[in-house]
Structure 1
Amino acid sequence: MRTAAVVGTGLIGTSVALALTARGVTVYLRDRDSTAVQTAAAMGAGLEATPPEPVDLAVLAVPPGRIAETLRLVQAERLALSYTDVASVKEQPLREMAELGCDATRYIGGHPLAGRERSGPLAARADLFDGRPWVLTPSRETDTETLNRALEMVSLCRAVPVVMAPRDHDHAVALVSHAPHLVSALMAARLEHAQDTDTRLAGQGVRDVTRVAGSDPRLWIDILGANANAVADVLAGLATDLDTVVGALRSLGAEDEAKRELGSRGVEALLRRGNVGHGRIPGKHGQPAARYEAVPVVVPDRPGELARLFADVGRAEVNIEDIRIDHAQGRPAGLVELQVDPRRAEALTTALRAGGWTVQR
């Protein structure tokens, strides 16, 4: 691939442009927001110019509701030989393209499974897609050249291509992305009018559950609107489970021993289903999920302490599989939870304590 165009210079579009430019591709940028495209160009993402001839591939980094109309316009001006997008839904844009008479042979749907809570070109990174899945959804009309150009783009962005049917993609992202986002927002909304004394008790659990609730609502309205039925189906099943567990908890809190036993079984059944579902989330490098053991270490909140901790872990010859950081309330310290192979946890604990670290294990 020698040339590309990126239409839409927000977080994803600018990140695509930065990644392609870094691999030697000449990228042309455009956006309805002149400030956004000027910012992306100033970051080195590409050229704020019209290509002299059709580029190899145009990437439409606009909201799902604008994909079809944008494709119609850029195909009319022959911007590229092939076209793709980065929208998180695929079926609705396809239907709208057919209604507008777009050339489906030169289009392939795309969706990189990467992002950040921040938006806009200044949040973009050339390495945003490194090792991340990038779904491609060819239709029956998509020609081989267009598929190959999209695969080359994914490779240049150092992502991992995954080919799916458009409908299968939409059901999958409803389950693993769109519905979880709403669940996160629902839980975060419980905190809206909470007392400060309550929120000061917030630990890693509630931070994990509500993390994505900080995303831009305007962007998510468009995403959810384009995949509303699939997301509603997932949430309907969740609502049924919620009704069941609420009833079980009421029984668990009853005075009658038989009711408490019944409630205990109901709550336990849900927790065990959760264990099974959590175990199906792929682990490192797409391998089956592995069980790690936590080694919690108190770390002073000052420069260089994390580096010193990691250096001591390295000297103990233990690999850190995952890490979590929880900041202490009212203290200049944090609790760093090192996830390691259970067979190495005791040795690491001994080594860190010998190095003067406080290990809460």
Structure 2
Amino acid sequence: MRTALVIGTGLIGTSAALALVGRGVTVYLTDHDPGQARTAAALGAGTDEQPEGPVDLAIVAVPPAHVARTLAEAMDRGAARGYLDVASVKGGPRRELEERGLDLTTYLGTHPMAGRERSGPLAATADLFEGRPWVLTPTPGTDTEVLNQALELVSLCRAVPVVMPADAHDRAVALVSHMPHLMSALVAARLEKADDGAVRLCGQGVRDVTRVAASDPAMWIDILNANPGPVADLLSAVAVDLDDAVRALRLLESADPAKRGEGAAGVETLLRRGNKGRGRVPGKHGAAPLAYETVAVLISDQPGELARIFADAGRAAVNIEDVRIEHATGQQAGLVQLMVEPSAAPVLSAALRERGWSIRQ
């Protein structure tokens, strides 16, 4: 791939453009908002000038509702030799393209499983896709050259290709992305009019659960509008579980020991199901996550403190598998939770204590 046209210079389009430019590809940028394309160009994502002829690959990075129209316009003017989109829903746009009677041999629907709470070109990074799954949804009619171009794009962005049918993709993202986002929003919505005293007690748990609720509502309306059925099916199943949870909790209020026992069993069943489901979420190496030990360290909110603690862990020859920071409300301090292999936890704890760090159990 020597040339590419990125249509839509939001977070995903600009991030892909930055990655391609960094690998020596000439990238042309266009957007319905010319100012946004100019911003992406100023960030080094390519040029907002138009190519003189067809490019090797056109990457359509617009909301799902606009994918078919944007692709059709690009195909009609012969903008590229191959076309793909990066929308988060795949089945609907492809069916709309088929209804338009377009030749789809040069088109491939894709979806990089990466993103941030922020949107727009200023939030873009060249490493956004690194190590992340990038779904490709070819059909028997997809031209081999277009599939190869898509695989090259994924490689240049240092992502991991995953091939699956379009409708299977849509059901999968409803489960792992779209439904969880709505659940996060539902929890966060409970905080909207909550007492200030209660909100001040927010800890890392509620921060983790509500993190994605900070995303742009307009973007998510576009996504959910394109995949409502699978998401509604999942929420219906969640509603059944919620009814069971409410019933179990009401039983715990009973004065009857038998009913309280039934309620406790119901809550335990739900929590254990949650344990099993969480255990299936892939870890950093792709397989089921290992059981890491946590070393919690008190850290002050000062420049260089994180760098110092990581350097001290490196001197102890301990690999940090994961890290979380729990901020103390109203204080210039917090807890850094360092996840390491169980055998390394005592080594790390001793080494950090020796270097003056305060270890918390």
TM-score (norm 1): 0.98
How big is the shift at 1:304? Answer: 1.2
Which whole-Å deviations, capped at 9, do the CAs of 1:165-223 have from their partners, x for residues lacking one?
Answer: 00110000000000000000000000000111111111110000000000000000010
Q: Which residue of 1 aligns with 2:221?
A: 221
Higher mean displacement: 318-327 or 347-356 = 347-356
Q: Which residue of 2 aligns with 1:64?
A: 64
Which whole-Å deviations, capped at 9, do the CAs of 1:21-79 have from their partners, x for residues lacking one?
Answer: 11111111111101100101111111112212211110000000011111111101000
- SS of equivalent residue, structure 2 residue 139: coil
Which whole-Å deviations, capped at 9, do the CAs of 1:53-107 have from their partners, x for residues lacking one?
Answer: 2111100000000111111111010000110011000010011101112221110
- State the alpha-carbon separation in 2 of the partners of residues 346 and 43 from structure 1: 45
Give matches, 1:5-154, under 5 Å: 5-154=5-154
Percent of aligned positions with the same letter in both sequences? 63
- State the alpha-carbon separation in 2 of the partners of residues 346 and 249 from structure 1: 39
One-letter code aligned to 1:177:
S
Moved over 6 A (4+): none
- How many residues end up aligned between the 2 structures? 361
Give matches, 1:1-361, under 5 Å: 1-361=1-361
- SS of equivalent residue, structure 2 residue 255: coil
- State the alpha-carbon separation in 2 of the partners of residues 300 and 100 from structure 1: 60
- State the alpha-carbon separation in 1 of the partners of residues 26 and 310 from structure 2: 40
How big is the shift at 1:239? Answer: 0.7
- SS of equivalent residue, structure 2 residue 282: coil
Which whole-Å deviations, capped at 9, do the CAs of 1:250-279 have from their partners, x for residues lacking one?
Answer: 112222111111111111111111111001
Q: Which runs of 5+ in 2 are unaligned?
A: none
Partners of 1:71 and 1:102 within 8 A in 2: no
One-letter code aligned to 2:299:
V
- State the alpha-carbon separation in 2 of the partners of residues 346 and 254 from structure 1: 45
- State the alpha-carbon separation in 2 of the partners of residues 289 and 349 from structure 1: 22
Partners of 1:69 and 1:100 within 8 A in 2: no
Higher mean displacement: 254-263 or 206-215 = 254-263
- State the alpha-carbon separation in 1 of the partners of residues 48 and 310 from structure 2: 43
Partners of 1:118 and 1:215 within 8 A in 2: yes
- State the alpha-carbon separation in 2 of the partners of residues 24 and 285 from structure 1: 29
One-letter code aligned to 1:173:
V
How big is the shift at 1:330? Answer: 2.4
- State the alpha-carbon separation in 2 of the partners of residues 24 and 348 from structure 1: 42
- State the alpha-carbon separation in 1 of the partners of residues 293 and 248 from structure 2: 31
- State the alpha-carbon separation in 2 of the partners of residues 256 and 294 from structure 1: 40
Q: Which runs of 5+ in 1 are unaligned?
A: none
One-letter code aligned to 1:251:
L
Partners of 1:21 and 1:27 within 8 A in 2: yes
Partners of 1:9 and 1:36 within 8 A in 2: yes
One-letter code aligned to 1:222:
D
- State the alpha-carbon separation in 2 of the partners of residues 285 and 25 from structure 1: 30
- State the alpha-carbon separation in 2 of the partners of residues 339 and 6 from structure 1: 39
- State the alpha-carbon separation in 1 of the partners of residues 180 and 244 from structure 2: 19
One-letter code aligned to 1:48:
D
How big is the shift at 1:287? Answer: 2.1
- State the alpha-carbon separation in 1 of the partners of residues 330 and 103 from structure 2: 60
One-letter code aligned to 2:80:
A
- State the alpha-carbon separation in 1 of the partners of residues 154 and 58 from structure 2: 13
- SS of equivalent residue, structure 1 residue 55: coil
One-letter code aligned to 2:307:
A
Higher mean displacement: 178-187 or 343-352 = 343-352
One-letter code aligned to 1:61:
A
- State the alpha-carbon separation in 2 of the partners of residues 17 and 348 from structure 1: 41
- State the alpha-carbon separation in 2 of the partners of residues 233 and 184 from structure 1: 17
- State the alpha-carbon separation in 1 of the partners of residues 272 and 14 from structure 2: 42
One-letter code aligned to 2:269:
A
One-letter code aligned to 1:323:
V
One-letter code aligned to 1:326:
E
- State the alpha-carbon separation in 2 of the partners of residues 140 and 236 from structure 1: 34
TM-score (norm 2): 0.98
One-letter code aligned to 1:195:
D
